[in-house]
Amino acid sequence: MDRTLLFKLLTVVVLLGCSSASDHLVNVSKLEMFVDELPDMPRIHSYRVLNGVPKSKPLKIGMFKKKWKFHRDLPPTTVYAFGKTKHTATVPGPTIEALHGVDTHVRWQNHLPSKHILPWDPTIPTAITNTTRGIPTVVHLHGGIHAPESDGSANAWFTSKFNERGPTWSRKTYHYPNNQHPGNLWYHDHAMGLTRVNLLAGLLGSYIIRDPVVEEPLGLPTGDEFDRPLVVFDRSFRTDGSIYMSSIGNNPDIHPQWQPEYFGDAIIVNGKAWPRLTVRRRKYRFRIINASNARFFRFFFSNGLRFTHVASDSAYIEKPVTTNETLVGPSEITDIVVDFSQSKTNVAILANDANYPYPSGDPVNQANGKVMKFIILPDQEVDTSRLPRRLVEYPVVDLSSVTHTRYVAMYEYASKIDEPTHLYLNAKPFDAPVTETPRVGSTEVWYVINLTEDNHPLHIHLGLLKVFDQTALVELEELKECMKKKNDAVKCNLKKHARGKKVVVGDHEKGWKNVFKMIPGHVTKIAVRFSYLHTNASYSFDATAEPGYVYHCHVSTHSLTIYFVQYHDILTIFFISVTCNYFKTDQLYKSC
């Protein structure tokens, strides 16, 4: 069939399929807030204890189409949900509890139908083709350190019963060795061109790696009641309860449906819009995941109550940091302790004041400026948990050991009507030859140059990053013009332009992370480490295997919908001199 004709037919099918439902939107300002109790998502342990010894327990977790109640006064919403069964599946999915050093084996099972509940765009690279029968999915464990064949490559997708599989698909069961440091991760769909719609449909959940040897001495709040994940995202709804996503793109002549960001009117926490939680006057630990497609949150308490950071993304920080507010970008995780005994009121509203898109977009309104309500019981409690003076110290960055310096530029391209059409890293599409080739065991310095007008949360698979500084770029238009012509930061004299005001990195974000917010018009200097953080040891798996790893912006409409992401090269084990093999033992690593 003629390619142009096929494209037109696909476009008509997609748009007609989306326009059949009414676009009458719910006026969320008329929904009463704080009427639903905050759910605690089901917890699934990836291990069992036999004779006092934890052993790996294989898991089967499916993806199901079902109905979900986001609010007491909304009709049930059709969603895609993770769970062991359709009946127990939830949005977000169950929290997977793992133990450090005990393997997790998960068979992710696709039980989704052939037709998507949300609009998708056939003009962007996508796993759906005219012959695909079923909704493609693949799961990425965000923050996990594991072999590439279990990393959820965008092209490792599969449909129901594995009937159809992407070009890099290789296995039904994923293996997460959990040999990394303890911390917070989350799992979500990562399919080519469908990540944004599969996330909006509900395919996401929390994953925690615990290490009692490291964590119990800290004395932080523990137990299901006092240590709780909070998965936060935004959604809009039609009056029939269905999730609303516009079926018309910003550039309909180019991309009939694709839009650069999605923002919902209602704020959802653990599957409920503006829920409430009754708490005691004591310390609680909240692991907050921003699972929005594009929305940034700047969290704060309405009554001035403060929170104390103990970890950021998947790693503990060196010592607790107390703040009045915190900015959390899409896919970032902030791990905080709130001491409700310090509250002077019996009610505290967790609020948000981050513009959308961030930082130069619209101010929040009454609906998206509120997140959830805490009702604080009046009686004081005996609380044996504590905030230690020190948390966990990991190796500092030794710049003398840096093996390579790289420059990563973020570009945004617009149409004649000045609407975004696509975004690239280093001006190259997803399928271009690999340019990043880190070595196992190495530490590199990357300069990330944001030439766009938006803040982009950069996520690096496998590697951990530490931010040195962020510097405003002067004579920015001159630099943009040069970079668009030469695409070379050195030839464009980045040093000349990187002499503006420096932005101070918050103390709670100075530790090791796997996402960081790249400020528009700034260059961000980061160290990227490709080894286990807590031991300096090489990986327990072959990180050089196909299909490799990716790094990308985690505004999900910016990544994995267009060829914005680049694969890392297959990681090179050896230096030019093969006497320094980072894939061997600690002793050999240190001798190098």
Q: pLDDT tens for residues 192-243?
A: 999 999 999 999 999 999 999 999 999 999 999 999 999 999 999 999 999 9
Q: pLDDT tens for residues 44-92?
A: 999 999 999 999 999 999 999 999 999 999 999 999 999 999 999 999 9
Residue 378 CB neighbour total at 10 angstroms: 6
Burial class (CB in 10 A: 0-12, 13-18, 19+), 400: exposed
Would you place residue 586 in the very low, low, confident or very high pLDDT band (cuts 50, 70, 90)? Answer: very low
Would you place residue 559 in the very low, low, confident or very high pLDDT band (cuts 50, 70, 90)? Answer: low
Tokens of 202: 């509900």
DSSP letters for 423-490: EEETTB-TTSPP-B-PBTT-EEEEEEEE-SSS-EEEEESS-EEEEEEEEEPSSHHHHHHHHHHH--TT
Check whether 107 has a pLDDT greater than 70: yes
Yes or no: say if 374 and 350 are a contact pair by the CB < 8 Å rule: yes
Of residues 583 and 196, more confidently modeled: 196
Q: pLDDT tens for residues 119-133?
A: 988 888 888 877 888
Q: What is the enclosing helix (H) or strand (E) of 18?
A: helix 3-19
Q: pLDDT tens for residues 291-328?
A: 999 999 999 999 999 999 999 999 999 999 999 999 99
Yes or no: say if 545 and 557 are a contact pair by the CB < 8 Å rule: no
Residue 483 CB neighbour total at 10 angstroms: 22
pLDDT at 556: 67
Cα separation, 533 vs 339, whole angstroms: 30
Cα separation, 79 vs 545, whole angstroms: 35
In the chain, the domains with their CATH numbers are 28-216 (2.60.40.420), 227-380 (2.60.40.420), 404-575 (2.60.40.420)
Would you place residue 407 in the very low, low, confident or very high pLDDT band (cuts 50, 70, 90)? Answer: very high
Which among 75, 65, 162 is positioned nearest to 117, based on CA atoms?
A: 65
pLDDT more than 70, % of the chain: 90
Q: Which DSSP category does 500 fall into?
A: S
pLDDT at 11: 40
Yes or no: say if 285 and 215 are a contact pair by the CB < 8 Å rule: no
